[in-house]
Amino acid sequence: MTDMIIIDGLSFALPLFIMAVGGIYSEKSGITNLALEGFQGFGAFTGSVAVVYLTGIFGSTSSVPYYAGFIFAVIGGGLFALIHALLCIKFKADQVISGVVMNILAMAMTSFLTKSINASFFGNSANKFMLGASARITFPYLSDIPLAGAIFRDIYPFEILIVILAVIMWYVLYKTKFGMRLRACGDNPHSVDAAGVNVYAVRTMAVFISGCLSGIAGMSFAYSISANFSPDIYLGYGYLSIAALIFGNWSILPSLAACLIFGFARSGGSAVINELGLPSSYNDLVRILPYVLTMLLLVFFSRHNHSPRALGQIYDKGQR
Amino acid sequence: MKKFMLSCLAIIISLIAGALILWLMDKDPIAAYMNLLQGSGLMQKVKYAGRQNMFTDFMSFIDAMTPMIFASLSVAIALRGGFFNIGVSGQMMIAGFIAHMLSLIVPSRILVIVVGVIAGALVGALIGWMRYRFNVNEVVSSIMLNSTIMYLVTFCINTFYVNPVSRQSKSIIESARLTISGFRWENLKLDIALAFPLAIITAMFLQWLIERTTYGYEMKAVGLSPKAAYYAGMNVNQISFITMTISGALAGLAGVSYFCGYYASIQPGTTPSMGFDAIAVSLLGGNNPIGCIFASFLITIISKGSVYMSSRQNIEPEIASLITAFILTFAACSAFLSRKGRK
């Protein structure tokens, strides 16, 4: 049972985490990002289209569609994120409103396009793309370690990808020149400008990165939890990862801890319900846990939280 | 007046974008848009089923529009006071559910409305309280509450209040429902939205409240700049708390007129998308209560008429939410356009 909790918890927490990393990039650069939900959905959509199309060419045994799916999810999520960047940076829209608008737009666009594509290319009227659950990998030897071995058992390939990416993203944000400028844009954009760096370009890049990472997360959810792409992907995972990053005080490692708490609360709850033999509708009660937990923790910790100082402010070059 | 022009611009651009999509799909955009009006009972359809005509369509259009007015007023009043109430969906759902529960004991329309107001107001007050007492961002807390309420209500419905055939909640008893459905008049069957006059009166009252009272003035001041309001000696915390409570109460009204009026039952497992569409409506109406009525009218034409349009033109009904999303996107850019104009 503990094995199941660890395996399921990780496969939920890691996509959440990579999305939160994307959110941190965007918010550290000063752009409030409530649009993660929409980014992950749109990324999952483009990825799923690619998978369905390529499966038709390569056959269902090939692993090409799987990896191509993730690449297209990254591209799709990133391109969609550019709309948010355009609205926030060029059109100076309110960033909170723009974020919510992006979510609604993503949901409307993907459900419309899913149906249209299914109707015109595959001749059915379904509102989803079937993907099937991803294959799982077990590491030999490592998985034999008692208790902790479960971390290396039955893992999805995307979990490895996410861990590698997260390390790279951590390095870029904290150890490179670009990362330093990005963080400075969120605290004092005018000083960045005075140093001769284009604030708009840095912020656009940050939002683009957050879209790419969210795309991976969305594709992971589509491949693991639901095994298809349908409008059900908009269940609020994006919002959950925003909660995680606010908890994590806008830094990467504490956000990982928050995501793990969410993941294990979810899988642990389901396991308990299974063990007690309760009907599956009780799962809905368990799903409440991460949200209530978030609220309680926010109540206790919000006072000590420091958001980036220029977060949500529209940067205007002429203003001092 | 300027805001009005900007809203019109957003609508026109979106309608053109929608027409372009329709045209790309080999459909006739003008016929499709006429279908929208016909489906909303604003234009004569080609033929009608028995006991129906344009007037019955219009009455059910009004029925669909009523909760939208309340929901958009809720967003508008919160935005005026400096809050972004993204939790309208959750507040609607909890108000509708509690009203359903109490109508099992006391079936009364008045009670349904009162309960809706109180339930919504309490959730709104909770969000406002958490913001000023613990500095919890209202956007995050209301999103968390949305999900919490959604799962909680879903659980309650699925365990003891489910209609096994429709997989929805049981229907509310007719004598407590805020819509009289199938009312016989002449030889027609009408749906009468009892809450509609209340919606209009509420909008007018809010307009008076915002423009003509001390509280309204203070609320706007807090919304524009909390710091300036504080230095002017206003009790910022108290004012924003009241604003959020009013906003929640309006969302509760939207909830009861939606779940105990337009629909008689609650769909578990999903939050009503109206709570999010209301943001579009409110922005479109310039966050002005009277503007909200007109914007609700327009958005409801799109959402209500799309059913008829999709059956006539063989288009996915999702096109309606797509056009709404376009309107929302362009409305969000309107700040940029108005700034351009000022220069």
Spatial distance between the Cα atoms of B231 and B244, rounded to a whole number of angstroms:
22
Cβ atoms of residues A289 and A243 within 8 Å: no
H/E stretch holding B68 reads helix B54-80
Spatial distance between the Cα atoms of B43 and B30, rounded to a whole number of angstroms:
14
Cβ atoms of residues B179 and B193 within 8 Å: yes
DSSP-assigned states of every residue in B77-121? HHHHTT-----HHHHHHHHHHHHHHHHHHS--HHHHHHHHHHHHH
Q: Torsion-angle region of residue B266: left (phi > 0), alpha (psi -120 to 50) or beta?
A: beta
Q: What is the predicted pLDDT for the residue at B343?
A: 36
Q: What is the predicted pLDDT for the residue at B338?
A: 62
Residue B158 to chain A, least CA–CA distance (Å): 7
Spatial distance between the Cα atoms of B298 and B40, rounded to a whole number of angstroms:
10
Nearest CA-CA partner of B89 in A226, A104, A16: A104
Question: Is B264 in a helix, a strand, or coil?
Answer: coil
Query: In chain B, what is the greatest distance between 2 CA atoms, to the nearest angstrom?
Result: 65
Determine the average pLDDT of the residues in A104-115.
Answer: 90
Spatial distance between the Cα atoms of A21 and A244, rounded to a whole number of angstroms:
10
pLDDT tens by residue, B187-234: 778 888 889 999 999 999 999 999 999 999 999 999 888 889 999 999
Nearest chain A residue to B282 by CA distance is A97
Nearest chain B residue to A295 by CA distance is B141
Nearest CA-CA partner of B141 in B119, B120, B123, B155: B123
Q: How many CB pairs under 8 A join A and B?
A: 137
Determine the average pLDDT of the residues in B68-91.
Answer: 92
Question: What percent of chain B is predicted at pLDDT more than 90?
Answer: 41
Band (pLDDT 50/70/90 cuts) for residue B91 is very high
pLDDT tens by residue, A248-264: 888 899 999 989 988 88
B156 touches chain A (CB under 8 A): no
Band (pLDDT 50/70/90 cuts) for residue B111 is very high
Determine the average pLDDT of the residues in A32-55.
Answer: 91
Band (pLDDT 50/70/90 cuts) for residue A135 is confident
Band (pLDDT 50/70/90 cuts) for residue B342 is very low
Spatial distance between the Cα atoms of A311 and A33, rounded to a whole number of angstroms:
10
Spatial distance between the Cα atoms of B254 and B91, rounded to a whole number of angstroms:
9
Nearest CA-CA partner of B21 in B343, B309, B336: B309
pLDDT tens by residue, B233-270: 999 999 999 999 999 999 999 999 999 989 888 988 88
**Could you tell me the two tokens for B192?**
């009468």
* In chain A, residues 102-141 whose CB comes closer than 8 Å to chain B: 103-105, 107-109, 111-112, 115-116, 119
**Residue B296, φ and ψ in degrees, nearest 5:** -60, -40
DSSP-assigned states of every residue in B160-171? HSEETTTTEEPP
Nearest chain A residue to B157 by CA distance is A281
pLDDT tens by residue, A144-177: 777 777 777 778 888 999 999 999 999 999 999 9
* In chain A, residues 59-98 whose CB comes closer than 8 Å to chain B: 83, 87, 90-94, 96-98
* Chain B residues in contact with A101 (beta carbon < 8 A): 279-280, 325, 328-329, 332
What is the average pLDDT value for chain A, to the nearest integer?
Answer: 87
Residues 6 or more apart in contact with residue B317 via CB below 8 angstroms: B306, B307, B309, B310
Cβ atoms of residues B175 and B39 within 8 Å: no
Residue B109 to chain A, least CA–CA distance (Å): 31
Does A134 have pLDDT greater than 80?
Answer: no
Residues 6 or more apart in contact with residue B265 via CB below 8 angstroms: B163, B166, B168, B169, B170, B171, B172, B259
Q: Among A313-317, B24-28, B119-123, name the most confident range.
A: B119-123
Higher pLDDT, B168 or A212: A212
What is the average pLDDT value for chain B, to the nearest integer?
Answer: 87
B319 touches chain A (CB under 8 A): yes
B329 touches chain A (CB under 8 A): yes
Spatial distance between the Cα atoms of B90 and B259, rounded to a whole number of angstroms:
12
Does B142 have pLDDT greater than 60?
Answer: yes
DSSP letter, residue A270: H
Spatial distance between the Cα atoms of A7 and A97, rounded to a whole number of angstroms:
37
* Chain B residues in contact with A96 (beta carbon < 8 A): 84, 139
**Could you tell me the two tokens for B307?**
């059913």
Cβ atoms of residues A46 and A274 within 8 Å: no
* Chain A residues in contact with B326 (beta carbon < 8 A): 105
* Chain B residues in contact with A109 (beta carbon < 8 A): 322, 325
Residue B240 CA: distances (Å) to CA of A177, B128, B129, B132 = 42, 7, 9, 8
Q: Amino acid letter at B88?
A: V
H/E stretch holding A222 reads helix A199-224
What pTM was computed for the model?
0.89
DSSP-assigned states of every residue in B198-234? HHHHHHHHHHHHHHHSHHHHHHHHHHH-HHHHHHTT-
Residue A256 CA: distances (Å) to CA of A43, A242, A261, A263 = 22, 12, 9, 10
Band (pLDDT 50/70/90 cuts) for residue B120 is very high
Determine the average pLDDT of the residues in A55-81.
Answer: 88
Q: What is the predicted pLDDT for the residue at B335?
A: 62
Spatial distance between the Cα atoms of A102 and A290, rounded to a whole number of angstroms:
24
Spatial distance between the Cα atoms of A55 and B338, rounded to a whole number of angstroms:
49
Question: Is B29 in a helix, a strand, or coil?
Answer: helix
Q: Tell me whether residues A239 and B25 touch, CB distance under 8 A.
A: no
Cβ atoms of residues B327 and B11 within 8 Å: yes
* In chain A, residues 256-315 whose CB comes closer than 8 Å to chain B: 279, 281-282, 284-285, 287-288, 291-292, 294-295, 298-300, 302-303, 305
Does B21 have pLDDT greater than 60?
Answer: yes
Q: What is the predicted pLDDT for the residue at B33?
A: 87
Give the Cα-Cα-Cα angle B330, B322, A242 (nearest 5 degrees).
Answer: 75
Determine the average pLDDT of the residues in A178-200.
Answer: 92
pLDDT tens by residue, A85-108: 999 988 888 888 888 889 989 998
SS3 content of chain B, % helix, strand, coil (to 5): 75, 5, 20
Q: Amino acid letter at B329?
A: T
Candidate from A274-283, B144-153, B201-210 with smallest mean pLDDT: A274-283
pLDDT tens by residue, B45-71: 777 777 778 888 899 899 999 999 999
Band (pLDDT 50/70/90 cuts) for residue A294 is confident
Q: Tell me whether residues B325 and A287 touch, CB distance under 8 A.
A: no
B276 touches chain A (CB under 8 A): yes
Query: In chain A, what is the greatest distance between 2 CA atoms, to the nearest angstrom?
Result: 64
